[in-house]
Amino acid sequence: MPDDKSIRVSAVQMVSGLSLEENLARAAALIERAAQTGARLVVLPEYFCFMGRRDTDKLALRESDEGGPIQQFLSATAKRHAIWLFGGSLPLQTDDAGRIYNTMLVHDPGGRRVQRYDKIHLFGFRKGNESYDEAATIRPGTGPAATVDTDAGRVGLSICYDLRFPELYRAMAPVNLIVVPSAFTYTTGSAHWEVLLRARAIENQCYVLAAAQGGLHENGRRTWGHSMLVDPWGDVMDCLPEGEGIVMGDIDFARLEEIRQSLPALKHRTM
């Protein structure tokens, strides 16, 4: 466990639009607000930097693994506020001109990139006039499950649709915190978002911090929002239903240990 008794964390909720510059400016303001209220670890939502009119629009913003404007923003912002910054997701290039990786980058308080996670599970949904097929423009990551050691202890990385695959999180265990930057649709979010987040917290006996897109976007898409922090008992500590803003809370290491000792489910695993 880390030396401190607790650490304050924050999830940023956005309603990202068509302009990269405006999205980065909004993200910067929200991160600053979180840092000013004591957050030492901040998570941005999936696609924080851009929500285009068409799925193919994000291809124009893809960056190489060596760097680019979005990566420079993440590094500089983490260093400016001396925080652990989990960069939601951004488009990184592949060797396929028609597809990108949907990637979360983690920067430490010195602005150094310390971890990369490429989204493994790609969302596909069809109901009535609503349909999504991420595989058309995104190449899935190949794993393994990604974690990073921080001032909050070990943190497990996942993105949006990953939330529906509990085996991914089992492969991370034990972790103190799971982060879930997302852009859940209004349809699927209203049905499943909270129950899935609480289940992942309960079964892995850890905190879950979910940063979401939340509102009606310029491209006409509506996302569910409800960014939240869930504790290891499954209690929702803070939640923002819709619109831009932040959720906050403290990861209490003593509570984490108390829950694991009183109900040692992780030690009882047989598979």
- Do the beta carbons of residue 229 and residue 248 sit within 8 Å? yes
- Estimate the crossing angle of helix 20-36 against helix 69-81, to 10 degrees: 10
Domains and CATH numbers, the chain: 7-264 (3.60.110.10)
pTM for the model stands at 0.96
Q: pLDDT > 70: what percent of the chain?
A: 100
* Residue 218: pLDDT over 70: yes
Tell whether the torsion through CA atoms of 74, 78, 83 and 84 is positive or negative: positive
CB neighbour burial string for 74-104, b if at least 16 within 10 angstroms, e if fewer:
bbebbbebebbbbbbbbbbbeeeeebbbbbb
Residue 39 identity (one-letter amino acid): A
* Residue 100: pLDDT over 90: yes
Q: Look at residue 95 in the predicted model and tell me its pLDDT.
A: 95
Average pLDDT of the residues in 8-21: 98
Average pLDDT of the residues in 118-137: 88
Residues 223 and 217: their CA atoms lie apart, in Å, by: 8
Q: Look at residue 1 in the predicted model and tell me its pLDDT.
A: 67
pLDDT tens figures, 228-270: 999 999 999 999 999 999 999 999 999 999 999 999 999 998 8
Q: Look at residue 125 in the predicted model and tell me its pLDDT.
A: 84
Q: Which of 230, 107, 106, 238 lies closest to 178 in space, CA to CA?
A: 230
Q: Look at residue 185 in the predicted model and tell me its pLDDT.
A: 95
- Do the beta carbons of residue 79 and residue 50 sit within 8 Å? no
Look at residue 23 and give its three-state secondary structure.
helix
Mean pLDDT, the chain, integer: 96
Average pLDDT of the residues in 160-178: 97
- Catalytic positions: 46, 119, 160
Average pLDDT of the residues in 94-114: 97
